[in-house]
Amino acid sequence: MNDELPMDELSLADLANRLDSEGMVGFVRRAVDDLRQGFEAVNSERFPWLDSLKKAPWTGVLCLGMGGSAAGGDFLAALTANEGHCPVVVHREYTLPAWFDATWLVMSTSHSGNTEETVAATQAALDAGATVVVIATGGELAGLPELYPSCHLIPSIGGQPPRTAFGHLLSRQLACLQALGLMPAMNEAAQAAMFERLQANNEHFDAIAQPEGDIALLAASLVDRPMAVIGPTELAPALNRFKNQMNENAARFVRVGVIPEMNHNESVAWGGVGPDRDPSSEEQALLVLTWGGMHARVQQRLDWMVAHASTETAWNLVGEGESLLECLLYHCLVMDWLSVALAFLHGKDPAAIAPISALKEHLNSVR
């Protein structure tokens, strides 16, 4: 009977039943399990080569990837900047940086294993004598360890869209760097407690099971408003993932601002306190991502931005958790549910990415 109702009269659960062709709701519900399983999958017993790589004096880690498969590298870079033992640089290209040499450990991540930019850059790194760790479900990348002794594979889990495999990929990346001593390792009890808290939050955010919950209500308020999301530098990976999830899942644009940098330029476009306001900013919904470890001056900048923004619609989304990692993951769960709920409210299947598929077909035809 619900199939006969117009879209604007359907509940989120009904919209999900009608539109969710690839089970995106289920993937979001299993996100914390994906993270937990990924951490458990990477250890020196399963991958003895980790012990030999641990002895190398790496200059840093170069993360190769594109799209959702590159997002984990951004998180690694933020986390190592906060408490790591070497720099992590993310590179989204066919070629390598001019400064690259084999003292950098390369981490190549592609859910499919066939992302052409990542495959090309990885091949170039191996030809230059680099050591490479591949994280993929298969494809060309997964086959490279058979050709190069300096290439090692950490297999991931397939059968779902790359952007929903974020937990599988990020957890393996993190576990690898922790095993190599490039990031502080979390003890098992603390890690288990973190996953319990994240799972409880994920269930609370479930906009389908909780149609009157915070995420469902926030999604409904954002349907007709342009969106902007701002936050501190250490949350920049979550800000960018928020934008990307909205782009793919809900087919929505999102303006991203990172504080303090945006205060030195973009504040003028927001309107500030002067009369020359951009009229579009008054309709814009402002989402502010924060966490407890922010620098006091950055918090003061955010408070000023919210107080003086011309928009009348703003939310402060506070990342809960005992570490930067947990707060980043908390924000990821919020944005995944919010983007999927908005997709349904717009009458869109969150798995549908026709323009991306069309571009890939074009590129294949002009090789």
Residue range 187-244, pLDDT digits in tens? 999 999 999 999 999 999 999 999 999 999 999 999 999 999 999 999 999 999 999 9
Q: Is it the case that residue 273 has pLDDT exceeding 60?
A: no
Q: Which residue intervals of 132-205 are DSSP H helices? A: 139-143, 166-179, 188-205
How much is the pLDDT for 279?
Answer: 55
Q: Which of the four pLDDT bands, split at 50, 70 and 90, describes residue 281?
A: low
Instruction: Give the lowest-confidence range in 45-49, 53-57, 264-268.
Output: 264-268
Q: What is the pLDDT of residues 185-201, one digit of tens each?
A: 989 999 999 999 999 99
In this structure, what token pair is assigned to residue 189?
């009890």
Q: What is the pairing mode between strands 285-291 and 151-155?
A: unpaired
Q: What is the DSSP letter of 82?
A: H
Reported as a single tens digit per residue, the pLDDT across 43-52 is: 999 999 999 9
Q: Does domain 25-185 have CATH number 3.90.1300.10?
A: no
- Give residue 40's Cα distance to chain centre: 20
d(CA 62, CA 139): 21
Q: Which of 329, 365, 23 is nearest to 194 (CA)?
A: 329
As beta bridge partners, residue 154 has 135
Tokens representing 80 are 């190592």
Nearest-angstrom CA–CA distance, 131 and 144? 12
pLDDT of residue 3: 57
Same fold, 25-185 and 199-345: yes
d(CA 334, CA 241): 11
Q: Which CATH superfamily is domain 199-345 in?
A: Glucose-6-phosphate isomerase like protein; domain 1 (3.40.50.10490)
- In the structure encoding, which two tokens stand for residue 172, read together? 């393996």
Distance CA 345, CA 111 (A): 28
- Token pair belonging to 258: 């990172």
Q: Higher-confidence residue: 151 or 312?
A: 151
Predicted confidence at residue 48, as pLDDT, reads: 96
- Is pLDDT of 112 > 90? yes
The rounded distance, in Å, linking the Cα atoms of 222 and 217 is 9
Domain ranges of the chain: 25-185, 199-345
pLDDT average, residue stretch 343-363: 87
Q: How high is the pLDDT of residue 4?
A: 58
Give the residue with greater pLDDT, 345 vs 280.
345
DSSP state of 181: T
Cα separation, 225 vs 227, whole angstroms = 6
* Tokens 């809960």 -> residue: 320
Q: What is the pLDDT of residue 366?
A: 83
- How far, in Å, CA of 339 to CA of 166, rounded? 15
Residue 86 pLDDT level (bands cut at 50, 70, 90): very high
- The full length of the chain comes to 367
pLDDT of 162 over the 60 cut: yes
> Which of the two residues, 149 and 67, has the higher pLDDT score?
149
SS3 345: helix
pLDDT of res. 115 = 95
Instruction: Say how many C-beta atoms besides its own lie within 10 A of residue 48's C-beta.
Output: 10
C-alpha to C-alpha distance for 245 and 164, rounded to whole angstroms: 10
Comparison of pLDDT for 3 and 142, the residue scoring more: 142
Nearest C-alpha neighbor of 64 from the set 169, 155, 215: 169
What are the DSSP calls for 264-308, one per residue? GTHHHHHTTTSS---THHHH-EEEEEEETT--HHHHHHHHHHHHH
pLDDT above 70 for 184: yes
